[in-house]
Amino acid sequence: MPLTLDEVLAQNDPTQVEQLSKEELHRMFWRFKGQQKSSDRDKAFWQSTNENLKVAYERLDEQERELARAYGIIQEDLSVAHNVQRALLPRVLGEMADEIEVGVYHKQLTEVGGDYYDFFRLPNSRFAIGVFDISGHGVSSALITAFLKAQFMQVMEHFDSPQGIVEWVNRTSFDFLREVRKYATVNLVTFDPDGIRYVSGGGYGYLMHGEQTFQFEKKNHFLGLRLKPYREFSLPFASGDLLALYTDGMVEAQNKQGIDYSVRRLNDVIARHRNEPCEDIVARCVEDYTAFRAQDTDDITLIVVRRR
Amino acid sequence: MTAQEQSTMLVHGSLMVGYAQACKNLNIVAGRAAHTFIDKLEINNWYPLEQWRELERLVLRSYARVEPILVRVGVEMMLGWYHYGPGRALVKNGASFLHFQTGSQGFTSVVQGAPEVIGTFDMDFYDRRRGRAVIHSTTPFNRWMERGVLIGGLSAPGDLDYVDVLQGDDPDLLHCEFH
């Protein structure tokens, strides 16, 4: 009794091929040839997909090189922008240095950023310090810092009160800031012989006068948000008194448990080291902050000033 | 064929989805845009021929040597149609697929339009004993894909030991061999 091809294949014994009928032998022939054909088609398919893969990898390599080139150009640009922004930061003015001691920590989250501080000469031979935080980070905010610097430089020759200065800048910058959807916190302090006057909208200020401590009233609005008058405040600032001005970069940074570094903690560190040189106070603050925070999440500016 | 003539032809969603699904099964289309296009297809809709062309281009533009890919897409389409669609109920064995595909329920059921635009898919010759048939296709579809469709349709029922479809000097003549 001849066997069928399926029976022979099921028994896995090649010697039984001899027992196949002629018809089953033909079937075996066609099945074998069919497998060859199918295999040829598979081979052609995989060869084609492999060729495609090779082309895709080559394109990927090329795109990677393009990206690297573009990234290099951007990095170079940012590096230049970083240097430009650094160059825009002020040096302590001669008349300031005679009257006050200054320590500064300023760190942008990326190559360029939106924190900006400046020292200004006023028309009455006095001087002022401004600390600003433009909304957002990076290039767009950095551009606004340059814009604000120009605005403040222009107005400083005409006003000597922080209120007049900030109101003028807010009025002349308002439309532009609205258009580019940016705003900025403001903390502008003018130094009089026996005290300070300030306007604060979103900025932080902490003043130690003898045994008394004051935190800035910061109920004013940000630059570019509203066209309303600003309120000016005065505080005593005598020899040996200490003033700290800062943006939210430090105080809103969190540790791994999600707890804010906080205004209180920063002010405590400042108070603890109040008798040290201003640069050392700043360094202690940065040390404490660095040990606390999980990572920087914003630009940081901290300025500590002592009346000589 | 002019764009206007093409626009008078409609392709049934089942064919579009079958083609698209085959491409997805074979992982031969890449990119979010391609997958978004494919995912928007609906099986019961009719689509202008240009949409079919767009579907074809997803494959054509990706491969330097696309012919074996199109054959495989055709095979995969018909395996899907047979095993997961209505094919098993419509076709008793491999050879009868040729009659089905060239009959009223086959090609002509998934296209609409003027005869001179949709073309024909006819069996010019059929010899079951010798395992030979010749299909004459004048459809706007790709002949390599149609070769795959015939190979897949003949193979899907699993009763044939050998299936091949070749094009001769006339690319519109598809020579089928099956045993």
Q: Which tens digit of pLDDT belongs to each residue from A245-289?
A: 999 999 999 999 999 999 999 999 999 999 999 999 999 999 999
Which residue in chain A is spatially nearest to B158 when comparing CA positions?
A31
The answer to whether the beta carbons of residues A20 and A5 sit under 8 Å apart is yes
DSSP string, A112-179: S-SEEEEEEE-TTS-EEEEEEEESS-HHHHHHHHHHHHHHHHHHTTT--SHHHHHHHHHHHHHHHHHH
Residue A11 confidence (pLDDT): 87
- What span, in angstroms and rounded, lies between the C-alpha atoms of A253 and B53? 55
Q: Is pLDDT at B7 greater than 70 in this prediction?
A: no
Mean pLDDT of chain A: 93
Q: Which long-range contacts (CB under 8 A, 24 or more apart) does A181-184 make?
A: A182/A134, A182/A135, A182/A136, A182/A140, A182/A141, A182/A144, A182/A224, A183/A134, A183/A135, A183/A222, A183/A223, A183/A224, A183/A225, A184/A114, A184/A132, A184/A133, A184/A134, A184/A135, A184/A144, A184/A148, A184/A222, A184/A223, A184/A224
- What span, in angstroms and rounded, lies between the C-alpha atoms of A134 and A150? 15
Residue A124 confidence (pLDDT): 81
Does B69 contact A31 at a Cβ distance shorter than 8 Å? Answer: no
Q: How far is CA A53 from CA A47, A50, B11, B67, B170, in A?
A: 10, 5, 31, 16, 32
**Chain A residues in contact with chain B using a Cβ-Cβ cutoff of 8 Å:** 26-27, 30-31, 33-34, 37, 41, 44-45, 47-49, 51-52, 55-56
Q: Which of A73-77, A79-83, B105-109, B162-166 has the lowest mean pLDDT?
A: B105-109
Q: How far is CA A216 from CA A244, A247, A276, A284, B114, in A?
A: 10, 12, 22, 22, 83
The sign one gets for the Cα dihedral B90, B96, B98, B100 is: negative
**Chain B residues in contact with chain A using a Cβ-Cβ cutoff of 8 Å:** 28, 30, 62-69, 71-72, 75, 151, 160-164, 179
Q: Is pLDDT at A239 greater than 70 in this prediction?
A: yes
Residue type for position A76:
E
Average pLDDT (B141-170) is: 96
Average pLDDT (A154-172) is: 92
pLDDT band at B108 (very low <50, low <70, confident <90, very high): confident
Residue A2 confidence (pLDDT): 86
pTM of the model: 0.64
pLDDT band at B6 (very low <50, low <70, confident <90, very high): low
Does B179 contact A30 at a Cβ distance shorter than 8 Å? Answer: yes
Nearest-CA distance from A55 to chain B in Å?
9
Of B28, B68, B161, the CB nearest to A44: B68
pLDDT band at A138 (very low <50, low <70, confident <90, very high): confident
Q: Is pLDDT at A87 greater than 80 in this prediction?
A: yes
Q: Is pLDDT at A194 greater than 90 in this prediction?
A: no
pLDDT band at A104 (very low <50, low <70, confident <90, very high): very high
Q: How many beta carbons lie within 10 A of that of residue B18, not counting itself?
A: 24
pLDDT band at B1 (very low <50, low <70, confident <90, very high): low
The answer to whether the beta carbons of residues A166 and A184 sit under 8 Å apart is no
pLDDT tens digits for range B39-92:
899 999 999 999 999 999 988 888 888 999 999 999 999 999 999 999 999 999
DSSP state, residue A196: E
DSSP state, residue A61: H
Residue A189 confidence (pLDDT): 97
Helices (H), chain A: 5-11, 22-88, 94-99, 138-155, 162-179, 248-251, 263-272, 278-292
Residue B2 confidence (pLDDT): 58
Residue B8 confidence (pLDDT): 80
Residue A52 confidence (pLDDT): 85
Residue A221 confidence (pLDDT): 93
Q: Is pLDDT at A13 greater than 80 in this prediction?
A: yes
Give, in degrees to the nearest 5, the angle at Cα A217 between A215 and A222.
125
For A169, phi then psi, to 5°, come to -65, -40
Average pLDDT (B5-28) is: 86
pLDDT band at B142 (very low <50, low <70, confident <90, very high): very high
Residues of chain A above pLDDT 90, percent: 80
SS3 B11: strand
Q: At what angle do helices B67-84 and A22-88 cross, to 10 degrees?
A: 110
The answer to whether the beta carbons of residues A250 and A263 sit under 8 Å apart is no
Q: How far is CA B141 from CA A222, B6, B50, B65, B123, in A?
A: 65, 12, 12, 18, 17
Average pLDDT (A219-233) is: 94
Q: How far is CA A107 from CA A113, A117, A249, A300, A303, in A?
A: 8, 11, 9, 5, 12
Nearest-CA distance from A35 to chain B in Å?
7
Buried b (16+ CB within 10 A) or exposed e, A149-185: bebbeebbeebbbbbebbbbbbeebbeebeeeebbbb
pLDDT band at A9 (very low <50, low <70, confident <90, very high): confident
Residue B38 confidence (pLDDT): 85
- What span, in angstroms and rounded, lies between the C-alpha atoms of B17 and B23? 10
Average pLDDT (A64-83) is: 95
Does A48 contact B63 at a Cβ distance shorter than 8 Å? Answer: yes
Residue B22 confidence (pLDDT): 92
* Of A220, A153, A160, nearest in space to A185 by CA: A220
> Bridge-partner residues for A165, per DSSP?
none
Average pLDDT (A45-54) is: 90
Of A31, A44, A51, the CB nearest to B161: A31
